[in-house]
Amino acid sequence: MPTPASSAVERAALLLARLRRARLLHPAGRTFSAEAMIWGTPGPPTGVPLLDLPGRWPATVRLSKGVPTPGRWPDVLGVGIRLHRDPEPPVDLLASSSAAAPVLRHLPLPRRGFTGTYTSIMSYRAGRRRVYLAVLADPDSPELGRGLAELPAAAGDDGPRLVLAVASAVGPWRPFGEVRLGGRRGAPEDAALAFDPVGNVPPGLRLAGPLAWLRDTTYRGSRRSRGATAQSGGSTGVTV
């Protein structure tokens, strides 16, 4: 049951998104088809099947600018990854440009280039443990470049790769998979895609606390402003 506070925040997000005529957060971006390959968490398991067990799924990746600032100006950059796990619901992983160090991985940091470190900013709970997720640039793959205009039109086997990693609040990053970008999708597909960073979390993880509530409510209002749902983007591809 929505509370008065959540209803007010959702309405405010809806109105602001309508004024912007785009997503409230990260309105400018590029969407790619992709493939995610999970090899499992090295070392002690997290207890989260998606992170610990090998798997392979088609994916959709969106790279975006947060404000957005013009051209190559610094901005809080974002990467959203949707894993299409038919017949199960999709999983959405969202991360913002940040730093890898424990004292900085919870802070969004503006930068110019899309190649770099992205973290979930907010921590997840895996049982009693607190963990962060990250999307890291693969140093052995081509760079993504600076600015949305420089992102590749198509990638494939020789294109940029993103490494998925997990860490405790103070521990090192442990890579558990990678995402290979494919072809870039068109503007209608990019506009139709809608992530749900709270409702579509990996089974076994949960977000809690006031920031999770604020994020959930804000994203819900933004989706409503453009007639999207938490499943827009589908379980097999982007819907238009």
% the chain with pLDDT above 70 = 74
CA dist., res. 132 & res. 40, Å (int): 16
Q: Given this model, what pLDDT does residue 239 score?
A: 34
| 233-to-16, 148, 217 alpha-carbon distances in Å | 23, 21, 19
> Which carries the bigger pLDDT value, residue 79 or residue 207?
79
Q: Are strands 124-126 and 129-137 parallel, antiparallel or unpaired?
A: antiparallel
Whether domain 26-209 has CATH 2.40.50.100: the reply is no
Residue 105 confidence (pLDDT) above 60: yes
> Which carries the bigger pLDDT value, residue 183 or residue 218?
183
Average pLDDT on 134-145 reads 88
Cβ count near 44 (within 10 Å): 8
